[in-house]
Amino acid sequence: MEIITRLRGIKDILPDEIEKWKKIEQTFIEISELFGFKEIRIPIIENKFIFVKGIGTNTDIVMKEMYEFKDKKGREIALRPEGTASVVRAFIENKMYMKQKITKLYYYGPMFRYDRPQKGRYRQFYQFGVEIFGGKSPYFDAELINLLNIAFDKLGIREIIFLLNSLGCENCKDNYIKKIKGHLESNINKFCNDCKVRIEKNPLRIFDCKNISCKKTVEKLPSIIDFLCNECKEHFEKFIKLIEKFGIEYKIDPKLVRGIDYYTRTVFEVNFKNDEIAIAGGGRYDNLVRDMSGPDIPAVGFAVGIDRIVPLICDDKMIKNDVVFLVLLGENARKKSFEIMKNLIENKIKFETDYEDRSLSEYLRVVNKTGIRWCMILGDNEIEKGVVILKDMQTGKQELIENNEIVNKIKERIKC
């Protein structure tokens, strides 16, 4: 029989790596909750048109990267390629805006895009995201940057830079596009084929193109920031001032336009400095709720690519400081171990053991390989005296502990 393998671009997350994943997930969840965000769990499959409407008909995500299928009744379904459109749908459908003015939500889970796999890019990937509904002040935009910065710092990821830009409101966008369209059309031959299409359908995306000729032509264009209306300009300036107050390393990047149509005003990305890969991205989308047939409510949010952060977490801390290995010498010790385990479980102390008939030195070798720091030795000698030995595998020091003190002593040791 031929073995059936996993699908292309989709991976298993094995126990070796899971601690890193948990650390990242827990960090983002914890910090978001401290900022007052509440979790929302959105479905993995949706009506396809949620994404067509939300993300934009002409975006690559919708045109070529969505997993789509028809269900048994012929309904058009899509696996979610991102979270925001679903959250907005849920926000509107459940009339969450009736509860309070500001709604702060976070979500976490797998997203799906049918893309060619590459470094940090998988067909099933994991995003953590937050959305704030109802707030139009630049303080909200800044709060998200602050949240991201705190979280990355806590994870020990410091080689990052925030790229910031503003796309303005609908009017600013229209004005700007009108201004540059003539220039684009007169230089149309200098653009690559993709950009020729973009000029018609979504001119702002030209700024994202990495083709050298396109880049050069675009460089001569005025920046969108210079075409912002007074209100948008004020919003952006205030936002930047707040970021400066945080002391965060940032760069204004007038070419940052992003590939999703719903953004207005603030857009941002967090890039890892070494290989310029975006590990988080987001921005303001003041019209999306309205455009998806909800009330006219402004919003801002971001999404973090967990898969891209995992390799950035250093794993030199392989020593398991919070686990105790039970070394059970002989049948009497094995019998007695269940009593001890019960105590450990009640006190949420992690432990491991095997029930092999080994000598002490053999056992210590086994423990050594596991990387577990604490070792509880129990044999006939100890049982007779009503004690156990607790040994620190790192320092080699050990001490005798009375039976009734086991839990307390271990707890004490684990802390340090």
Partner RNA sequence: GUGAGUGUAGCUCAGCGGAUAGAGCACUGGACUGUGGCUCCAGGAGUCGGGGGUUCAAAUCCCCUCACUCACCCCA
Q: Work out how close the CB of 230 gets to RNA at its nearest, in angstroms, rounded to a whole number.
A: 29
- Chain residues in the site for RNA (CB under 7 A): 2, 5, 7-10, 59-61, 65, 82, 113, 115-122, 125, 127, 194, 205, 208-211, 258-260, 269, 275, 277-281, 303-305, 307-308, 329-330, 359-362, 364-365, 367-369, 377, 379-382, 389, 391, 393-396, 398
Q: Work out how close the CB of 117 gets to RNA at its nearest, in angstroms, rounded to a whole number.
A: 4
C-alpha torsion angle, residues 368, 373, 378, 381 (rounded to 10)? 90
Number of Cβ within 10 Å of residue 373's Cβ equals 20
275/296 with CB nearer RNA: 275
172/312 with CB nearer RNA: 312
331, HSE (Cβ side, Cα atoms, 13 Å): 0
Helix (H, G, I), strand (E, B) or coil at 266: strand
250 membership: H or E segment, kind and range: strand 250-252
82/141 with CB nearer RNA: 82
179/196 with CB nearer RNA: 196
Helix (H, G, I), strand (E, B) or coil at 34: helix
d(CA 267, CA 311): 25
Nearest CA to 236 out of 218, 256, 221, 208 is that of: 256
Six token digits for residue 137: 């002040």
Bridge partners (DSSP) of residue 70 are: 76
DSSP letter string over 335-401?
Answer: HHHHHHHHHHHHTT-EEE-------HHHHHHHHHHHTEEEEEEE-HHHHHHTEEEEEETTT--EEEE
37/191 with CB nearer RNA: 191
Six token digits for residue 262: 């719903």
Query: Using an 8 Å Cβ cutoff, are 302 and 281 in contact?
Result: yes
CA angle 159, 163, 168 (to 5 degrees): 165
Q: Work out how close the CB of 140 gets to RNA at its nearest, in angstroms, rounded to a whole number.
A: 18
Q: Work out how close the CB of 64 gets to RNA at its nearest, in angstroms, rounded to a whole number.
A: 7
119/348 with CB nearer RNA: 119
Nearest CA to 115 out of 10, 4, 272 is that of: 10
348/369 with CB nearer RNA: 369
Q: Work out how close the CB of 115 gets to RNA at its nearest, in angstroms, rounded to a whole number.
A: 6
Query: Using an 8 Å Cβ cutoff, are 125 and 305 in contact?
Result: yes
Q: Work out how close the CB of 401 gets to RNA at its nearest, in angstroms, rounded to a whole number.
A: 12
- Return the CA Rg of the chain: 28
Q: Work out how close the CB of 371 gets to RNA at its nearest, in angstroms, rounded to a whole number.
A: 9
d(CA 193, CA 1): 47
Bridge partners (DSSP) of residue 188 are: none
242/383 with CB nearer RNA: 383
292/378 with CB nearer RNA: 378
Q: Work out how close the CB of 3 gets to RNA at its nearest, in angstroms, rounded to a whole number.
A: 9
- What does the DSSP 8-state code read for residue 309? H
Helix (H, G, I), strand (E, B) or coil at 70: strand
Q: Work out how close the CB of 362 gets to RNA at its nearest, in angstroms, rounded to a whole number.
A: 6
Query: Using an 8 Å Cβ cutoff, are 298 and 134 in contact?
Result: yes
Q: Work out how close the CB of 209 gets to RNA at its nearest, in angstroms, rounded to a whole number.
A: 5
233/255 with CB nearer RNA: 255
